[in-house]
A and B are shown apart, each in its own frame.
Chain A
Amino acid sequence: MRAPAHRHVDAVFDALADPTRRRVVETLARGGTVTASGLAGQLPMTRQAVAKHLSALQGAELISASRVGRETHYKLRPQPLDEAAQWIQMVSAEWDDRLEALRRSLQKRETRSK
């Protein structure tokens, strides 16, 4: 079985590697839409720094942007996070199956040698 959108999962892990970007994502997870200036007010960084992180998150499709008048509003897109969580679930299930097969293979040997 192949991982769903594995490359996309890599992009998500990459984008979330930076602790500041994780804070941006957590802030977005708490409430609806934000603007770059609004976020800069909540986080200890300049509007320019916020804009840079938002653009990295947008690259991983973790957030979406829409123009409202002169401002850009950003919103979290949960789907890529779901995919990352799915990767973890899928790999866990694969190892559960393989370890069970390993256990059985060792058991068989034990029975034979008795």
Chain B
Amino acid sequence: MKLRDRTEVDEGTPWVERETMVEASPEEVWEALTDEDRLEEWLAPDVELDPTEGGEIAVRDGDDQRNGTVETLEENERFAFTWSRPGEGESFVEFTIEALPGGSRVTVVETPTQSAATNIVAGGWGPPLARLHHALRFALVA
């Protein structure tokens, strides 16, 4: 089985990157990210997770359902999986945990995984897309 190499995503500008600081050790964050009962406390009311590389993840919130595959498990540091809704494009989700004095920084990146989208990301299309979007707004107003 070929697992996605994280550097493919790290090279370019991700589509979405968010972070938060928590007053908890990387070990505590790791448990909250990779234990299915703990995931149900914050991610969605119904989460199934087989925490092994290649394992399945299922996230349900009412009618909204996503399924995917665990890609990376590096204890206390990195947890990544793909997920998608039925019939929709797949995304790659990656959490990174970093120890800080008195807590941890948790960063999440979500990127469409289609090879095409990955190419855009690798080519740093993120900022040009934003620029283009601004250019269009001005063109429409003018």
Contact = CB atoms under 8 A, between A and B. Distances in A.
B23 A104 contact: no
Interface stretch (B1-9, B49-57, B72-80, B106-114): B106-114
A108 B123 CA distance: 42
A106 B135 contact: no
Contact size range, B = 35 or more
Main secondary structure of the interface of A (DSSP, over half): helix
Interface string B43-82: 1000000000000000000001000000000000000000
Contact of A91 (B16, B130, B139): B16
Given A14-B117, A102-B32, A106-B22, A76 B16 contact: no
Nearest to A29: B135
A81 B133 contact: yes
Given A13-B117, A14-B114, A92-B16, A2 B64 contact: yes
Contacts of B41: 101, 105
B132 A26 contact: yes
Interface in A1-55: 1-3, 6-7, 9-10, 13-14, 16-17, 19, 22, 25-26, 29-30
A102 B22 contact: yes
B136 A78 contact: yes
A110 B136 CA distance: 48
Contacts of A87: 15
B10 interface: no
Contact of A17 (B19, B28, B116): B116
Interface of B: 15-16, 18-24, 28-29, 32-33, 38, 41-43, 64, 85, 87-89, 91, 106, 108, 110, 112, 114-117, 119-120, 123, 125, 128-130, 132-133, 135-136, 139-140
Interface of A: 1-3, 6-7, 9-10, 13-14, 16-17, 19, 22, 25-26, 29-30, 76, 78, 81-82, 84-85, 87-88, 91-92, 95-96, 98-107, 109-110
